Each structure stands twice: as structure tokens, then as C-alpha cells.
Amino acid sequence: MSNARKIALVIGWGSVKCAAALGVLRVLHRAGIQIDLLVGGGGGSIYAGLAALGHTADEIVEMNARLWTREVTEQPNRLAPLQLLFPRQFKAREFFYLRGDRLVNQRLQAAFGERTFADCTIPLFITATDYLTGEQVTLTDGPLWEAVRASIALPLVFAPVRRGGRLLADGYLSDPLPVGVAMREGAQIILALGFESTPILPLDTFGKFVFHIQSVMTDNLLKASYSFHNMAHHAEVLPIFPDFERPIHQFDTQAVPHIIEVGERAGEKILPALQRLLEGG
């Protein structure tokens, strides 16, 4: 049964923290609330994609345990150190990246199979960024695993993806919480699940320093885009920014059960407001 008002769930960028979406999906499922539209960017695209295929939150929790494990982000690109030290002699054939993507591709293919956007039971929109122009690109067709792979192409970690003449990388570079896509698609109630970066102070290595600056910029971008979209449109936006109570690092896969639990609590918190909106028609 569809809702009188079109409800969208937008799952933003947040690496491993995006699994909080599973907690939110559980809450919605228990309350019997159906989603009419799913939008995912960065890590959020994995869960938006699986939910759009009709999997329940509990099924996705199980799939996730096989999909996103520690090894996925531990596959070194053996040429990377040489390319870093001798950029002239060892120019990357296409781009520089630190982690090989064979395993992540296998895992995504295992989870999504051959299924495409056309197989989704809930309309799905996945965001990526055109790396050369910086524009947001919304993916709506083709194999799901490929779209997700483009959306999670974290710069310098995973290689970007070539698709339709564009070079696609992580969706967060253009918008860490793409509520704008849900608005354009006519959503009237938007559940916006967003994540701020985890501070990694003290900045005692060069890598941490660069990563921190990148996080500062991304958090500022999140605030700017969120406040713009909120002001510019009439859709009701219910923000969900889970408070994890302890630092969750980017690839801290062991924290997933805790993350889902926090997501569930954050979902419970906005549920009354959502129900009021739905009753109000």
C-alpha cells in the first residue's frame, strides 16, 4: 500500500557508519511504514540498493556480515608506494589508489548478482560524483553492483569507475547527504540519515592530517548542502544524525552491531514525528 505522502529515505556518506540505516529500516518495518523512494550516496548506496531490491532489514544485516568485512579495505595496491615515492617513473596507468578493488567487486557482485535498477521494487537513486567536473551524477540504470561500486569509490582508497564517458567517484564529493535528489523526485517526507566525520585527533601522522582536513571540508559541505535544501524546498525533512557515543573509525567493521543498534534508537526517536506527519496526510 502506498502512502498518501511520498516518503523517501536518504542514506548519506559515512563509511561503516552507514549500517545505521539497517536500524532505521528495522524501526520502519516494525511500525509498518513503507518507503516510496530510496536514495544512497557513498556507503549509504549499499543499503539503499539492498533495501530497494525488497530485502528486509534483518536479511540485509545478514548479507552485510558477508559483504563488508575487514579484508575488503585491506587489499593493498602493491604499486601504490612506488607511485607515491616516484611519481614520474611510476605514473599510474589511470589513477592512483591505495586499495585493490578485486575483493570489493566480488563481494558487491555476490550481494547484488546481475540485478539492475529495473529489478528494484522501490525506486532507487544512487549518487556519484563526476571526478573531472565535480558534478553530482544520479545513477538510475544498469547493474546495481556497478552503481554502488562507483558511489563508494573513496578518493585515493578505491579507483574511480569509468561509465558513460564519465569518471565516477564517491558521491560525498558533491553532496554527503543527497536530500536534493529525493526532493527532485517529488518526495514529500524525507528521512535524512547523515553522518559527521569522526575526529581522529591528535593529528600525529601526515595521513591523519590530510584525512582530517578532508573531513572538515566534508562536514562543512554536509551542513551547507543540508541547510540549502531545507530552505529551498517544501518537503518535510526529518534529520537523523545518530550519536554513536564513541569514535567509529572509517573501516571499523567490528562496530557494525553497535552501529545498527544506535541507528535503531535514532529511528525510534523520529518515529512519533513521522507518524504524526503521516496521520496529518
- Which neighbouring-strand residues pair with 138? 127
* 189-193 and 166-170 strand pairing: unpaired
Cα gap 258→187, rounded to integer Å:
30
The yes or no reply on residue 110 touching other proteins (CB under 8 A) is: no
CA distance 279 to 281: 5
Could you say whether residue 156 binds other proteins (CB under 8 A)? yes
**Residue 15 found at the interface with other proteins (CB under 8 A):** no
> Judged by CB, which is closer to other proteins: 64, or 174?
174
Interaction of residue 79 with other proteins, rule CB under 8 A: no
Which helix (H) or strand (E) segment is 218 a member of? helix 206-232
Least Å distance between CB 58 and other proteins?
36
- Mapped onto helix, strand or coil, the DSSP state of residue 7 is strand
Residue 113 binds other proteins, judged by CB under 8 A: no
> CB of residue 95 vs other proteins: minimum separation in angstroms?
6
For other proteins, the binding residue among 34, 220, 254, 275 (CB under 8 A) is: 220
Residue 280 interacts with other proteins (CB under 8 A): yes or no: no
DSSP string, 39-98: EEETTHHHHHHHHHTT--HHHHHHHHHHHS-GGGG--B-TTHHHHHH-TTTT--SS---S
Query: Is 58 one of the binding residues for other proteins (CB under 8 A)?
Result: no
Tell me the β-bridge partners of 143: 116
Instruction: Report the amino acid identity of residue 26.
Output: R
- Give the Cα separation of 36 and 113 in Å (integer): 23
- Binding of other proteins at residue 33 (CB under 8 A)? no
Q: How far apart are CA 259 and CA 239, in angstroms?
A: 17
In the bound state with other proteins, the residue whose beta carbon lies nearer, of 212 and 265, is 212
The nearest distance, CB 25 to other proteins, in angstroms, is: 28
Give, in order, the Cα–Cα distances in Å from 210 to each of 95, 200, 201, 214, 220.
19, 11, 12, 6, 16
Residue 79 CB, shortest distance to other proteins, in Å, is 11
Site for other proteins in 230-269 (CB under 8 A): 231-232
Which residues in 187-206 contact other proteins (CB under 8 A)? Answer: 199, 201-206
Sketch the per residue contact string, 120 through 149, with other proteins: x for CB under 8 A, - otherwise.
---------x-xxxx---------------
Grid cell in block for residue 229:
535544501
Helix or strand or coil: residue 169?
strand
Binding region for other proteins (CB under 8 A) out of 16-24, 105-113, 138-146, 222-230: 222-230
Q: Is 174 in the site for other proteins (CB under 8 A)?
A: yes
Give me the residues that bind other proteins (CB under 8 A), please. Answer: 80, 83-84, 87, 91-96, 129, 131-134, 155-156, 167, 173-175, 199, 201-206, 209-210, 212-221, 224-225, 227-228, 231-232
